[in-house]
Structure 1
Amino acid sequence: MKSSEEISKKINLLIEKNNDAYKGFKKASENAESTHLRDYLLQQASERQSFAHKLSGNLKAYNPDFKIDTDGSATGSVHRAWIDIKATLSLDDDESILEECIRGDKASVEEYREFLTDYPTAASEISHTIKEQLHNIQSTLDRVKRLEDIH
């Protein structure tokens, strides 16, 4: 059985991932040419911020003594910088932005699935939240892939 501390650290990583996604979608919206794409990216940023909040609440209830890191990761900062570089150098900015969103969402899906595989006995409230968010991220990924095909 996995320790409470180990599960808490993994949940915290998912919180970081969502904070990174929030910042990434927000940054991507600043570079989007299409107003529809910009609005969509801002909506996704808001959703990821909500995901991080929900996971933080779950983590506080599960392990009240655990110190939650809400800043995001260094990897996320690099990814946002890469979105800026690609948008600046690309002839088709919106397509480049969508490609980076797809890449980021694929990584999120993988981390969520990894949590469910590695911690099948995690508290039911946490597992339910993780499954729900995974479903939403997967749906977003599918929509973004379709948007990329249009652009």
Structure 2
Amino acid sequence: MKYSEDVANKLNSLLEKNYDSEKGYQMAAENVKNPQLKEFFNQRAKERYDFGHELKSEIKSFGQEPDKGTSLKGDIHRGWMDIKTSLSSDNEEAVLEEAIRGEKAAVEEYNEVLKSEEIPSSTGNVLMKQRNSITDALNKVKSLEQWKD
């Protein structure tokens, strides 16, 4: 596999995860009544949309085509989240727990790609900025969950 294809594949994997996160956050915003949580989830969905555009630009800079949709795993996760929140007596708590789980996974995925020696520093800077923003969101979600207790 050529260098540019390998890097683009790694970036496409992150792009797919951002599509999944965007859809997940949109769903979360629809499943909560608390206006603060709704706003937080809508902001995260917009952020992931923006991350997707940044990743698409990076992928195109390697002469490759960006992926166009969510992953099957993400679709299944959202389906599970729907079921879990509909059965839960505390919708907001269940949604926050799923957001924490998803953000932890996203940080791990970004860290894994950032470890790759073939990622150029300019692309690494974009990925670090996104990862740091996801880490900030994770900390915010954790604080929101503690506030609920």
% identical aligned pairs:
40
Counterpart-to-counterpart distance in 1, 2:59 and 2:65: 10
Partner of 1:102: 100
Counterpart-to-counterpart distance in 1, 2:67 and 2:4: 17
Partner of 1:139: 136
Partner of 1:79: 77
Q: Is the 8 A contact 2:3 2:118 kept in 1?
A: no
Partner of 2:45: 45
TM-score (norm 2): 0.95
Shift of 1:70: 2.1
Counterpart-to-counterpart distance in 2, 1:25 and 1:44: 6
Partner of 2:54: 54
Shift of 1:82: 1.4
Question: Counterpart of 1:133 in 2: which secondary structure?
Answer: helix
Partner of 2:10: 10
Q: Pick from 64, 68, 71: which aligns with 1:70? A: 68
Q: Is the 8 A contact 1:58 1:125 kept in 2?
A: no
The answer for unaligned runs of 5 or more in structure 2 is: none
Which amino acid letter does the alignment assign opposite residue 145 of structure 1?
K
Counterpart-to-counterpart distance in 2, 1:40 and 1:70: 25
Q: Is the 8 A contact 1:105 1:137 kept in 2?
A: yes
Matched, 1:129 2:126: yes
What per-residue deviation string (whole Å, max 9, x for no partner) do you get for residues 3-31 of structure 1? Answer: 22111101000000001000000011110
Partner of 1:21: 21
The answer for unaligned runs of 5 or more in structure 1 is: none
Partner of 1:120: 117
Number of equivalent positions: 147
Shift of 1:67: 2.2
Q: CA RMSD in A?
A: 1.1
Q: Is the 8 A contact 1:17 1:73 kept in 2?
A: yes
What per-residue deviation string (whole Å, max 9, x for no partner) do you get for residues 37-60 of structure 1? Answer: 011100100000100110111111
